Amino acid sequence: MFKKPLLAAVSLIALTALAAQAETIRIAEHRQARIDALKAVAPAIEAKLGVTIEVIEYPAPEKDYMSKLLTELGAGNAPDVFTVPGDSDVPDLATAGYVAPVTEAFAAWEGAAHTFDVAKSLATGADGVMYAVPTMLSVQQIYFRRDVLEKAGISTDQPKDWADLMARAKEIKDKTGQYALLFPMGASWGGGAFGEGFQYMLAGTDTPQLVAAGGKLDLSSTGVKDVLTFYADLVNADLMPVDPLLGPEPWVIPKYEMFPAGQLVATTCGTWCYIYDWGPESKNPIPDVTKAVGTWEVPGKAGGNGHVMVSLNSPWLVNANASPLATQVALELGSVAADVAYASRLGNIPARRDAGDDAEFQKLTALVPVLKAVENGTYLQASAGFSAVSEGVARATEAILRKETDGAGAQKILVDYVTDVLGPDAVQ
Amino acid sequence: MAKRPQLMAYATLSLISAYCALPFFWAALASFDGNASLFLKWPEDWTTANYTRIFTVENGLTWFMNSLIVVGAATVLTMVLGGLGGYALSRSNAWWKRPFLYTILLIRVVPPPALIVPLYKVLLTANRAVQEVLRAVLPPDMLRPAMRVFGLVDGYLGMILILTALQLPLALWILKTFFDTVSRDYDEAALLDGASLMQRIRLVLLPLALPGLAAAGLFAFISAWGDFLMPLIFISSPELQMLPLGLFRAFLRVNTVDWGFLTALAVLYMVPSVVAFGFARGFLVRTFGGGVKG
Amino acid sequence: MTYQSRAQWQLRLILLPSAALLLALVIWPALYAVWLSFTNAALVGPGAANPRFVGLRNYARLVGDGDFWNSLMVTGLFVLGSAIIGQFVLGLVSAVLLNRPLRFRAVFNAIILLPNAVPEVVAGFLWISMLAGGERGVLSRIVMGLGLQPQDWLNTFPLTMIIVVNTWRGIATAMILLTAGLSSVPKEVHEAAVMDGAKPGQIFRMITLPLILPTIFLYMLISTVSTISIFGFVYALTRGGPGGATEILGIYLYNQSFTAYQLGYGAAVAVVSLVFSLIVGVIYVRALKVEV
């Protein structure tokens, strides 16, 4: 007679005990906007999966974030779920054994069907294993001050090829007296030299990929040389502001100060520029930014179709030592709600099609058309060794910035550096 | 005409002082400026909002207390260990004395970044042992708070030990040279009176060693207070976050540098070490005045 | 056991905690770094999963690495410019002048000590403002007052600027040590020289300087050693740039280990820099007869 209530009481106690011991998943996150986004979506994930989420704030500068994270990963003490800046960082963390594969969990996940193919490809390594949850995308191209160009009577048409782009840049400099076009270069921009510039241009050359048939890195290609030569021409013609790029935090002056002031007329950037750099989340916004600032696709070297560059933005990785629940949490960070929370604060593009139906997302008018066009984007397939390539590009472009070398010389710096780091076997 | 050298002396000292003091003007002014910038200017919009924000919006008080606890404890520990060790090194006539002294001095040339990864591994191993011990003796819900205190990675104890270890070589040197100038007669006499080691230290040496300890403590405090690399790598929990990290996070946390907030935090961050200097300054010359062979 | 030998044992006992702490947290990690320098250990990639012994490969690469030699040279100039010349000269001048009965002595003294109390990162931020480029930067405004052109200081004279900043940080240490040295010069010697009609410059050169020479050498040893390992404020100020112009060893090593992720190579840099400073240390101890 007392059995039922007793049982209920026992199970209630058991449940409470379970709830009290709900597994804690530690998530590394950094920079205020990203932390705000994560904290906004964490309660829903906790409720759905019955976990406790602990957000650990890491240092804001990207380099310090990575130093701390990698030290902890190396020692086996890192958080369960964390991000890396882009897809090019993923293979090297995977070969280090830091990251749990998510291939099967991803396939079984409700979001898999909605995820863009390009995002899946970017998250999948050469071995067919998926080591990253693609949640947000960087969609990058060239952003220019439409208002400045129109006032100066310069064409705002899409440049047809590299020569056209260069000619346009020279015309901007001649007619406005301002810096014309910025590509991130140099050692202190970190991964930016590679991820926010070099790869755009490379995609428009005859040799758009860096991995040769045997899995070796092919850095001696004509495409690499062409990009670096274009860079050298840009710097040598004084079309690009050089001094701020040699100091620490090189993006602050050109992107947050010069561009809004009209002292720099065009720059590479991603959709985040409409929100974070010059838009509503900026401290130095450009009024009516979507009108004042236009976009050009990145032209091919010899013409043909221009392209926008798609890459993973801060993909979520799961610690190899973490429990399976951590993978579920990482996948939930790719839900529409989470994607939109990050998109509205940072201005990146969700990696899934159905985010476009979300009412909150539709308010982000600058991002809506870009989401629709994601599938047309070009991408660069990352592979093991890309950390070294990225650092090598930073060093090569640093030499160009300092006007110490030409395109061929910079290519030699790149090849030598990567060969030194990875050994001669890894490089063709 | 004794006036001219005097004038020259004042002029020279004023120039050196201007060089030393100028950067502080910017920080002091900018921290009260509602519209602070990278450039030195007289604030048009005087405000204390930058300071209040540190404590209301951010966890300034937590950062401050953590820094005080950790650096304070490390300083005391450095003084205790350095005092005992310095005394031993001064009085010992063992053959390894000189090699030991040179080793700990030269090891200082290794830049701290070189030690981080090995240090992390050492501390993590020890941390796991501490965790096992605490798990065995404490109820589960006490484990986390206890690890915050006794943890060697992401815990007070670890941070205290690291900072102590980094400051100890200089402290040992200062105190060893200091004890060299304290006559051995005192401890010989106490030894003959049958005083134990602890009695000798407490009654004879401690009073004599005070200036040396103050100087060693001052240098340890200032250097540990300013270290940011170790807290950057070894502290993760927000409850344990220390001032340099607050400063580093405030920088570029959003896309522009908030100079008002940054300088206010920097001013607060400087206060304790300036105060420490004020307290210990009197001891400095006495310490080194005796400690250097003329 | 005699009381003397027992006392000697007790001495070892009270040194033990210090020795143990240094062994565990400084010497052992340093030895571990030596081992790493013979491997391809890395923070990412296969070198992170299974570090392999590679013999002297890292050292071979080091010899041919222009950036390393650049860093070594930058460090040498940095030590020479800031510790040996800047801090020492200004510290000595301050110590000598403040040893005289001047008015406002305490004020001058306090102001000169102030920078020494500034945490590394703060020092970096303060000087970012002082050295800011363009016409509005503080240093630029000062030189414009003297009729010179404003400069983008950290880009145009990067190494000189970090020397200026480090000198600023270290005048106090030199002044403290040298004041102490001066106070140990017997007054009678000084007075006797004045009686004999010696000029102040002569007194300083012939009497004071030789008497404080041991202090000077001890100062040089300590400041050289601690300047070689500087990392924090340069990291906050320039991160080694532009183009490696301020890439002192601490920064170079950090960049190798945490930007290029090459732990083994970074460790080799540390080992070689240790050897170099060992040589410098031996020169000080042997040639300049620093006594301990």
Interface touch A387/C261, C-beta < 8 Å? yes
Contact B253 A56 (CB under 8 A): no
Q: Strand (E) positions, A214-364?
A: 264-270, 293-296, 309-313, 316-318, 349-350
Cβ B232–A32 below 8 Å, yes or no? Answer: no
| C183 Cα to chain A: minimum distance (Å) | 44
- Percent of chain C at pLDDT > 90 equals 31
Nearest to C33 among B21, B26, B115 (CB): B115
User: Does residue A118 carry a pLDDT above 80?
Assistant: yes
Residues of chain B positioned with their CB less than 8 A from the CB of C174? none
Query: What is the mean predicted confidence (pLDDT) over B103-129?
Result: 86
CA distances from C199 to B12, C204, C206 (A): 20, 9, 10
Helix (H, G, I), strand (E, B) or coil at A115: strand
Q: Which of residues 55-84 of C touch B (CB under 8 A)?
A: none
For residue C2, the model assigns a pLDDT of 67
Can you list the domains of chain C with their CATH numbers? 25-287 (1.10.3720.10)
Inter-chain Cβ pairs, chain A and chain C, closer than 8 A: 81
d(CA B10, CA A419): 60
Which residue of chain B is at minimal alpha-carbon distance from C86? B16
CA distances from B216 to A236, A274, B87, B111, B112 (A): 54, 54, 13, 21, 20
Cα–Cα distance for residue pair B286/B216, rounded to 1 Å = 12
Whether ipTM exceeds 0.85:
yes
Our CA-based measurement puts residue B274 at a distance from the nearest CA of chain C, in whole angstroms, of 6
What are the two backbone dihedrals, phi and then psi, of residue A280, each rounded to the nearest 5 degrees? -60, -30
State pLDDT tens for residues A270-294: 998 988 889 887 878 999 998 999 9
Give the whole-angstrom CA distance, residue B187 versus residue C7.
10
pLDDT tier at B249, thresholds 50, 70, 90: low
pLDDT, averaged across chain B: 85
In degrees rounded to 5, what are phi and psi of residue A51?
A: -115, 165
H helices present in A274-426, as ranges: 289-292, 324-332, 336-346, 359-362, 368-372, 386-401, 407-422
Contact list, C62 vs chain A (CB under 8 Å)? none
pLDDT-derived band at A144, boundaries 50, 70, 90: very high
pLDDT cut 90: percent of chain A above it: 67
Q: What sign results for the dihedral spanned by CA atoms A409, C69, C41, A100? A: negative
- Among the partner-chain residues B232, B254, B257, the one whose CB lies closest to the CB of A59 is B232
| Residue A107: burial class (beta carbons within 10 Å; 0-12, 13-18, 19+) | exposed
| Minimum CA–CA partner of A257 in chain B | B256
Chain A positions touching B232 (Cβ under 8 A) are 59, 64, 67-68
- A13: pLDDT strictly greater than 60: no
Instruction: Determine the Cα–Cα distance for residues B108 and B89; give it in Å rounded to an integer.
Output: 18
For chain A, list the domains and their CATH numbers.
Answer: 23-135+315-376 (3.40.190.10), 139-310+385-426 (3.40.190.10)
Instruction: Measure CB to CB from residue B248 to each of A32, A59, A276 and give the nearest one.
Output: A59
Range in A165-169, A225-229, B238-242, C284-288 with the lowest mean pLDDT = C284-288
- Asked if residue B258 lies in contact with residue B33, where contact means CB atoms within 8 angstroms, the answer is no
Position B292 scores a pLDDT of 45
B5 lies in some domain:
no
Contact C97 B222 (CB under 8 A): no
Q: What is the pLDDT at residue A17? A: 47
Q: Could you give the CA distance from residue C89 to residue C72 in angstroms, rounded to a whole number?
A: 24
* Strands A264-270 and A179-182, bridge-based pairing: parallel
Residue bearing tokens 């979001």? A111
Model confidence over C186-224: pLDDT tens digits? 778 878 888 888 887 788 888 888 888 878 888 888 888
In a domain, B185, yes or no: yes
Nearest to C270 among B102, B108, B111 (CB): B111
* CATH number of the domain within which B185 lies: 1.10.3720.10
* d(C-alpha B83, C-alpha B92), whole Å: 14
B-C CB pairs within 8 A amount to: 291
Identify all chain A residues contacting C71, using CB atoms and an 8 Å cutoff. none
Residues of C in contact with B162 (CB under 8 A): 25
- How many angstroms away from the CA of A167 is the closest CA of chain B? 32
pLDDT at residue A46 greater than cutoff 70: yes
Determine the pLDDT at residue B1.
46
Tell which A residues from 64 to 123 touch B, by Cβ distance under 8 Å: 64, 67-68, 71-72, 74-77
- What is the pLDDT confidence band of residue B239, given thresholds at 50, 70 and 90? confident
Is B19 inside a domain boundary? no
Per-residue pLDDT tens, chain C, 292 aa: give them. Answer: 566 677 788 888 889 999 999 999 999 998 999 999 999 999 898 888 888 899 999 999 999 888 899 999 999 999 999 999 999 999 999 998 988 888 888 889 889 989 988 888 889 889 988 998 777 888 998 999 898 888 888 888 999 999 999 999 999 989 988 888 887 777 788 788 888 888 877 888 888 888 888 788 888 888 888 898 899 889 888 888 787 889 999 999 998 888 888 899 999 998 988 888 888 878 877 776 665 5
Answer whether residue A415 shows pLDDT above 50: yes
Tell whether the model's pLDDT for residue A321 goes beyond 70.
yes
Q: Sheet holding A81-83: strands in order across?
A: A52-58, A24-30, A81-83, A316-318
Determine whether the interchain pair B254/A59 forms a contact, defined as Cβ–Cβ distance below 8 Å: no
Chain B residue whose CA is closest to C177: B288
Residue of C nearest to A420 (CA): C61
Q: Are C243 and A67 a contacting pair at CB < 8 A?
A: no
Structural domain span for residue B186: 46-94+158-291
pLDDT of residue A327: 96
Between A66 and C284, the higher pLDDT residue:
A66
Nearest CA in chain A to B121: A75
End-to-end CA gap in chain B:
33
State the nearest Cα–Cα gap between B171 and chain C, in angstroms. 10
**Count of structural domains within chain B:** 1
* Average confidence (pLDDT) over A78-95: 93
Distance in Å, alpha carbon of B162 to nearest chain A alpha carbon: 16
Predicted local confidence at residue C289, as pLDDT = 65
Element spanning A29, H or E: strand A24-30
The band of A361, judged by pLDDT with boundaries at 50, 70 and 90, is: very high
> Which chain A residue has the Cα nearest residue B116?
A71
Identify which of A71, A97, A188 has the shortest CB distance to residue C241: A188
pLDDT for position C199:
81
pLDDT band, very low/low/confident/very high, at A356 (cuts 50, 70, 90): very high
**pLDDT tens for each residue of C166-192:** 999 999 989 988 888 887 777 788 788
Cα gap C168→B18, rounded to integer Å:
11
The pLDDT value recorded for residue A196 is: 92
